[in-house]
Structure 1
């Protein structure tokens, strides 16, 4: 083999010599030893090309030659000698998790091979482990990657060979950054328990794997055909702003980079068949982000640092910090669900779980996920802990089942209109969630106006937040609050109920009960400002000057009890009396001082003597200060 290569080079050299002889004769130039220029070789060697100038009759030698050799033609010949060191890797196109992988390399060298090494790592790792390769027959060298490194993350490797003072790699260029890859296949995998479900609890899940056609089999193989009584699985559609359900809307649930909601009647374990996801470009794996909310998952079987994520906007690729500054995404973009409420991820984009991410623009973006595993030294997202606002009010509501919803309202110097480091959007409610509380902010684009933290800049007169609270059913809703920090001098707080045209003053902490309409959704206004400004806001929401309002509550007229909803804007001496159709006083239900707020008073349809009154029409008179309200009610027994 070596002899054939030498003969080939001699023939090439003879052609070069002949052409230079013709050139010298045509130009009548004289060449001396040491004169001349290099001639490009055009060789295909990986590394180790030796370029040598020699005069005929000299010993032709240089770095990379296998042995000294010489020619004699009577003329100086400038030329380039390309001596090849070639590596041809031979590896399986894919492997199976938990099985060792044997890598073979065929090495063609002009000189003896001093060493051959295999450098390998699991997908996403930043450093390589090394193995010596063992020489075999016919220029073959082998090494075996241990089974423990063969996982769903896949395997990456490159080969390094040293021969005759030269070094070559395969791949030949950018071998550490763009190594050879081997996808790994898994069967009946549950992500080491990551795909476990709790009974009757929604969770967001994703599977970081390429799966064969019909990926719904990952669910149906374990849980049976679609059956809302046994399991449900759905994904958010940003275009329709609704959930599309697997089984009814032909949703393909498990695509790398996408997440779904999953709930099961019984505690279950989902397993799947799939293979490694490798990045499709040098930057990483792209996840399309449509305008509005997007339900996404990490495409790789390892965590990626939040700070390493990129946002692509057309031809421009931005770091996460640059994208936040440009108003493309939130400062805290990843919202995950813990089974009861949303939390933001401050350092990592983790596999197996799911996230909501908001695209704040009217155009499609892409989230680029680089194939680099998060290290222990990954920095926390600085927006996770923004500076404390100058004033902050935390309001909360808890429904009859104990589910709690919260919203933060604040004032901070430096806060801007639209999204900034203090604001936090509220993702779409989890399927089946009936209890929500948010601030509705019109400064945000249409599908993204619900905030769970809404911090505004200072104002000379006042600021108002519109709260939307839902309990899923009509009835009393208690709103509790706690304030910290200091309001500007001369500011105070009020809670305004536009549906009743009533308001109450708010202390630094307290609670207030309101009644939601039939749909169970109520809008309230929290206003802070000067007294003059607050009076304008309050009167714009109701009848000016009315400090007392009352109404008969809906419900079952046959219950034998009449409920009266009373709204007081200030502390007042209040009385409630019941009369029949002839104007006779039947019962003095209440007489005493009541504080500001919304109260529910009850008349048990009995007289002062304790006698139950018959079915019929009755009148209730509520008096407080200079105002009196008369109400008509029907009692059915």
Structure 2
């Protein structure tokens, strides 16, 4: 039923569908803009509930002393659009003085004065940071009636901004961060009507720029008290589970919305820290480009133009590592861990939830198991325990809390503690720099964990702040700044020096407050893996980047030796055969797959580096066939991988049904198969059926429960019927071929018609032929139709043999074929026809060679049964003297006849060859009462069995008893 449901989805979602061009917190009003909006009222109700939950959450953290009583919750805004309203066009020139504004009725003079004073002071700084607005305005400020408007409602069509009245301390403390929120709302208005279609971009950029503007207005503004200001903990919070297509799902966990908003804000602050003109330059290019609001590829290109490098990476590489910026909803279970490191304990919030295709998230109850490991890999046992209960009901759904404390764990307390969180097959790792933060009264401004080294020194280069090197102590470090907290946004260079005097340079872009990086200096990923490769042809991959770049040398051959046989498929080549042969293959790297053909067994020690814990595990799929490898050291379930195209993300199964890709094929026993597991060290094939690049994202997810081959027939023909075909020679076989009928199968090539990977070696090849519908040169493992028409259906298959000898086409199981159909095999070369229901196989002699393969085509005809092609109309057995019998036979069609004499228990006594019969022409056959050895049979009862077979292989049988007497 799952396959049928997925097929139904095929009709509603297609690759390349128009991307969302408005943020996820957009509410569409009735056409006239004045009628009541149930959607808006429901949205306001959800916001009120979320606000209540988050306030209880804030109070809980205050009681636990995890946050300051001054901590402020972020306000959630709403965009309103009237579909029938007049859309503004972007002018060719910008209003360099800012966005003009007016006040609607209802404001007091005091309120208008407070807002005017604040906005006038902020406007020039907003223009400086964000660039001139897309439109000159004006925007009308509307006074909201209390908290129902939450963080503000911006009507993009009418250019109205509804907000609450300003607090009395707006001009002084702004303790509720009202002014910060107002600036962020005005920056949204700067972009109107061209708001970005992705929440991580539109919401994240506006909030990040608002932070900058607010600090330019008030350098002492306590940004650190905003619960959405997450830049200090960014390294630890940047986890894959944050990715989602929306920050504002119809159903969700309120805290996750806050963390996503805050992490997107922090990500863009990192870009700003290195490129202070980024927002202005990006907006200018964005307005000039036009039409890019929902085009993620275009937006990334524009951003890369404004910030070529970020934290030592190209913008594209950096962006791929920022999980919150990935606007994709990954369907399935997720585990997110929010750690807050304190002096001798760490506050952990563990989130468990399920995300659906629309981005909605549902809390999932469970018990998380925690492991604590010291820097020298010894287990630790805090008094708070190692289990956390997570409930799907109550005040804090989907989240569990624990504060493990550590005492007396070494003469020198400072160290790196590794915390592993596991829940229902999901796993997450966080690092806690124990005793590195300092006390509340004397806090270190820069502290963190070093992963991959336990000792050494660290030099921190903060612009304008001279600092001495600080030691790395048992995998942790701390540094106090001479003037207290960081007060500005800036790129910081960390240079780690190990005992071997080798340096590793890492960059982190930081902002006001403290910063707690997790610095991976490489050796945690360093590993030595031993693998024995068996003789013969194999499709392999490597989960490690070896230090030895030459694969031949790695396998014990001299560099460039022709004795080492390795091949790699390069989809970028224009040749029909896209193989590159050693030594022209690319270096071994996780995710790549290669053919190797060894004469003897080889045990190889690979010294190198595994992918880092934050590696996104993404592979680029070019159009056509791609060889892929398992990037993990454990088996990978290929069905849990994700396919991404722009902002759209699909499971492998969904992408197959949409004909975006084919399945993952592996090579086993000389055959291509589709399996539930891609083993460690194993390679596979996947087909990109689009004209552009796709991204394949691997995840451990839930491991496959077994490595059995996928039952292709059942998978492809859910709700219908199908048969599996096989081709065999004396040395090879191909059993990956399925024809059949399934509801929802489309005319032409669709997601149920799987291509076969490129042929390899001497193996026989069986493939379906779609002469009018196929991709040129494609060979198909399946041909699934929507139904069998009144005139029947004809499937064409082709067997390609690369050796001389007998070749057989087999159909071992036809029980799924509905009884009203007859199936006929027709040899397109010889013209021979064969009824498939009564025969198991068809054989012929091939004269193919590796240099000149022979292709032979067959047709399989499925049609409604009409007249039975052969019936036995007369079958009469008459005893004769000497224990014999006279047997009369007549058939409706010409047939080959065989008589068998059997005992009552079925033992064969005698076989009698009978001349071929003619239609309706009776013949008489005699039996002399003797067995195969010539002796008379004993008296008793015997079974006379008649088999009639047409030239096409249709078979019918009858039997009669015969009593033999003296």
TM-score of the superposition, structure 2-length normalised? 0.38
Q: 1:265 to 1:365 in 2, by over 3 A?
A: same
- Out of 410, 414, 418, which is 1:141 matched to? 414
Q: CA deviation at 1:286?
A: 2.4
Q: 1:376 to 1:389 in 2, by over 3 A?
A: closer
**Contact 1:393/1:408, CA 8 A, preserved across alignment:** yes
- Out of 231, 234, 251, which is 2:567 matched to? 234
Does residue 269 (structure 1) correspond to residue 543 (structure 2)? The answer is no
How far apart, CA to CA, are the structure 2 residues paired with 1:145 and 1:279? Answer: 12
Q: CA deviation at 1:357?
A: 0.7
Q: CA deviation at 1:192?
A: 4.2
SS state of the match for residue 840, structure 2? Answer: strand
How far apart, CA to CA, are the structure 2 residues paired with 1:136 and 1:491? Answer: 78
- Partner of 1:323 in structure 2? 655
SS state of the match for residue 737, structure 2? Answer: strand
**Contact 1:211/1:273, CA 8 A, preserved across alignment:** yes
- Partner of 2:854 in structure 1? 520
SS state of the match for residue 446, structure 1? Answer: coil
**Contact 2:416/2:431, CA 8 A, preserved across alignment:** no
Does residue 503 (structure 1) correspond to residue 776 (structure 2)? The answer is no
Q: CA deviation at 1:506?
A: 2.5
Matches within 5 A, 1:58-69: none
SS state of the match for residue 323, structure 1? Answer: helix
**Contact 1:197/1:263, CA 8 A, preserved across alignment:** no
Does residue 291 (structure 1) correspond to residue 628 (structure 2)? The answer is no
Q: 1:309 to 1:87 in 2, by over 3 A?
A: closer
Deviations 1:285-337 (A, max 9, x none): 3211122211011234344544542222235444445433432123xx22111
Q: CA deviation at 1:480?
A: 2.2
**Contact 1:87/1:170, CA 8 A, preserved across alignment:** no
**Contact 1:412/1:458, CA 8 A, preserved across alignment:** yes
**Contact 1:410/1:456, CA 8 A, preserved across alignment:** yes
- Partner of 1:413 in structure 2? 743
How far apart, CA to CA, are the structure 2 residues paired with 1:341 and 1:353? Answer: 14
- Out of 545, 559, 565, which is 1:210 matched to? 545
Q: 1:521 to 1:259 in 2, by over 3 A?
A: same
Matches within 5 A, 1:357-376: 357-370=686-699, 372=700, 374=702
**Contact 1:210/1:274, CA 8 A, preserved across alignment:** yes
Based on CA coordinates, which of the two structures has the bigger radius of gyration?
1
- Partner of 2:680 in structure 1? 351
- Partner of 2:730 in structure 1? 400
Paired residues in the alignment total 430
- Partner of 2:372 in structure 1? 129
Q: 1:363 to 1:404 in 2, by over 3 A?
A: closer
How far apart, CA to CA, are the structure 1 residues paired with 2:568 and 2:623? Answer: 16
- Out of 772, 775, 780, which is 1:451 matched to? 780
SS state of the match for residue 554, structure 2? Answer: helix
**Structure 1 unaligned blocks of 5 or more:** 1-33, 42-78, 90-112, 120-124, 147-152, 536-569, 575-589, 596-623, 626-637
Q: 1:167 to 1:311 in 2, by over 3 A?
A: farther
- Out of 159, 163, 172, which is 2:433 matched to? 159
How far apart, CA to CA, are the structure 1 residues paired with 2:626 and 2:672? Answer: 15
- Partner of 2:183 in structure 1? none
- Partner of 1:223 in structure 2? 557
Q: CA deviation at 1:135?
A: 9.6
Q: 1:434 to 1:127 in 2, by over 3 A?
A: same
How far apart, CA to CA, are the structure 2 residues paired with 1:267 and 1:154? Answer: 37
Q: 1:494 to 1:274 in 2, by over 3 A?
A: same
How far apart, CA to CA, are the structure 1 residues paired with 2:559 and 2:779? Answer: 36
Structure with greater strand percent: 1
How far apart, CA to CA, are the structure 2 residues paired with 1:158 and 1:324? Answer: 41
**Contact 2:537/2:596, CA 8 A, preserved across alignment:** yes
Q: CA deviation at 1:265?
A: 0.5
- Out of 913, 916, 934, which is 1:593 matched to? 916
Q: 1:233 to 1:376 in 2, by over 3 A?
A: closer
Of 253-262 and 475-484, deviating more is 475-484
Matches within 5 A, 1:375-390: 386=715, 388=718, 390=720
Matches within 5 A, 1:103-114: none
TM-score of the superposition, structure 1-length normalised? 0.55
Does residue 481 (structure 1) correspond to residue 811 (structure 2)? The answer is yes
- Partner of 2:344 in structure 1? 115
Q: CA deviation at 1:510?
A: 1.8
Q: 1:352 to 1:83 in 2, by over 3 A?
A: closer
How far apart, CA to CA, are the structure 1 residues paired with 2:822 and 2:221? Answer: 87
- Partner of 1:606 in structure 2? none
Q: CA deviation at 1:259?
A: 0.3
Deviations 1:429-458 (A, max 9, x none): 2x3233121222347652673233332221
Q: CA deviation at 1:338?
A: 1.7
Q: CA deviation at 1:280?
A: 7.3
Structure with greater helix percent: 2
Q: 1:114 to 1:404 in 2, by over 3 A?
A: closer
